[in-house]
Structures are given as structure tokens and as C-alpha cells.
Amino acid sequence: MYTSVTSICARFSTSFSLGVFTWQRLILGMSGSLHPLAAVCQVTATPDKEANFSACKQLVEEAKQRGASMVFLPEGFDYIGSSREETLALSESLAGDTISRYTQLAKKLELWLSLGGFHERGHDWEADRRIYNSHVIINDRGDIVSVYRKSHLFDVELPEKGVSLKESAFTIPGPSLVAPVQTPIGKVGLGICYDLRFPELSVALQRHGAEILTYPSAFTVATGAAHWEVLLRARAIETQCFVLAAAQVGRHHEKRSSYGHALAVDPWGEVLGDCGEEKPGLALVEVDLGKVRSTRRNMPVQQHRRDDAFYCSLPQT
């Protein structure tokens, strides 16, 4: 009996990848059991926006060739600046050139894009020179269908780990969550990087119908090694959702490096794809929503959840 490969992360030659996928489609297509494919990408962004777009475009095109319906790019896919001043100077509005190029790419290739952490100029940019960290979803017609602005900002000092970042120095926290988006792979709930540490967000998205959670990220090497996989698996297990997490990897400039390990996790908490810690690439993952339904049916955690008042019933201290 043929068993499908649910994750392919190694960078095979295009001809070999296409051959594997074509064979897989022919075999599974006859049984009616082929599920949509998502591509979870790993990149090394720098302050060079043109080079970053070229690298991301190549991954998106490869994902399309290999049969993906939706492609996930990480936080900072547009660039990672080397200073506050550079980060702000390179920022754009949603109507700017960067997002325009990605809407054209999505339309040309006829696939959905998750752009996981765009440096969007704030609504009062001319007055305060502050930005949002925005997660943009583009459909296969090139339309922006959802924008989530990161609500939890990474202000962390870990001197013993060599980590010192203060995102709030130039970033505005997003005002609210956004409803999960219906896509070709399922209903996707949006987060960004540090949001991963707040289970209230994932539970809220699951309650509003999310079948897939996504956390495009640029985790530091220190925090990634300690917490990345365990947090992603925990979010999948507690919500019984797929979790897809595109990631930055390697050295962006002399001041910053990222952990890598772009990851895909199923509703049981099993890791389906891991891009490692060395170089850019992608994981191609089969999204079988039957796993969501069966996991929730067999272990009906949400039915066992008490009402909100119960969890607020402890006395104040």
C-alpha cells in the first residue's frame, strides 16, 4: 500500500521534485485522498530588499512547481535592518512596491501567500515615524484578503544569552486579532513570532474556527534552541490545529542571526517538516483536515473546557 510523503524539506533538483510530485498526484488522485499542499519557507533576509525579494520569489516559484496551494514566508521576509534608523527608512505602506510585487506574483502563479511580518508604516507615519509588524494574506487573484498586526512586541533583555531587543521602540502593537481566513488549505488563524508565547491568542483563534495556526518568525538563536519547537508543538496540541511556522535562518548582518528550523506540526503534535538550522529552503506539507476532525472527535478537549468565569474564579492576590 502506498503511503504519501507528508514533508519534503531537502532541496532536490526541480526535475526530481516535479517527478515525485507528479507520481504522488497520479497515485493518490485515483484514490481521491490527495490533500492540499502548503509550503513553509525558510529564508535569510538582509537589509537588501531586492535580494530578499529575489530569494523569496525563487522559493515561491519552486513551491508552485511542486504543487503547493499556499506558501508561507517568515517574519521580516521583506528585510531585516541593522539599526532602528535603517529599519524605519526601509519601511513601506501596504500600497508600496514590495506588497505590489507579491500581489502580482500571487496572481501570476495562482496561489495564496502568507507574508509573515511586513514592516508597514503606521497610520501617523509622518508625525511619529513608527511602524506595524504586519502579517498579510494574499489570495490567488492577487487581492489582500487579511492583515493582522502583531499584538505582542518582543521587548527582551537576556544578557547571559546575548539577546537584547526592544521592538516597541519603533513598532506599534496591533489593536486586535483578526478572524481566521478561509484558504485552499483550510481556515488559517494569524499570529507572528512572539505571539507564539501567548496561548490565549491561539485558543481564541481556534474558538473562531481556525484549523491551521501560523506563526511566521525570526526567533533568536538562543530562544529558538530553548523554546521554538516545544512552543509550536504545545500550540498544536492544545488547539488540535495544524501549526505552520515559516522562519528566518542564519546571519542577517553583523548584529543579528536567527535560529531557523521552519516547522510544520500536525494536530496531534507530530512534527511533519523541519527545515533545519543551516540554510534557506522549504518544507512541503500535506494538510489533511481529516486529522483535525478526528483528533477533536477522539479527544474533545474544547467540549471539556469550562466557561470563562470558571478560569477567573481564583481570588485576587
Q: Is 193 known to be catalytic?
A: yes
**Residue 164 host element (H or E):** strand 163-166
pTM: 0.88
pLDDT of residue 217: 98
Q: Is the pLDDT of residue 194 over 80?
A: yes
Whether residue 150 lies in the annotated active site: yes
pLDDT confidence of 167, banded at 50, 70, 90? Answer: confident
Catalytic one of 56, 64, 75, 291: 75
Q: What is the rounded distance in angstroms from the CA atom of residue 257 to the CA atom of residue 263?
A: 18
Per annotation, catalytic residue among 9, 41, 56, 193: 193
Q: How many CA atoms lie within 13 A of 248 on its CB side?
A: 27
Residue ranges in 110-184 assigned as alpha helix (H): 125-128
Res 226 pLDDT > 70: yes
pLDDT, tens only, 136-163: 999 999 999 999 999 999 887 788 877 7
Q: Answer for the pair 80, 45: CB distance below 8 angstroms, yes or no.
A: yes
Question: 260-280: per-residue pLDDT in tens?
Answer: 999 999 999 999 999 999 999
For the chain, the average pLDDT equals: 89
- Say which CATH topology domain 7-21+38-287 has: Nitrilase/N-carbamoyl-D-aminoacid amidohydrolase (3.60.110)
CA 43 to CA 258: how far, in whole Å? 10
The C-alpha R_g of the chain, in whole angstroms, comes to 19
Among residues 64, 150, 187, 291, the one annotated as catalytic is 150
CB 41 within 8 A of CB 63: yes
Structure confidence by residue, pLDDT tens digits, 28-44 = 433 333 899 999 999 99
User: 274 CB contacts (<8 Å, ≥6 apart)?
Assistant: 7, 9, 261, 262, 263, 264, 283
pLDDT at 33: 39
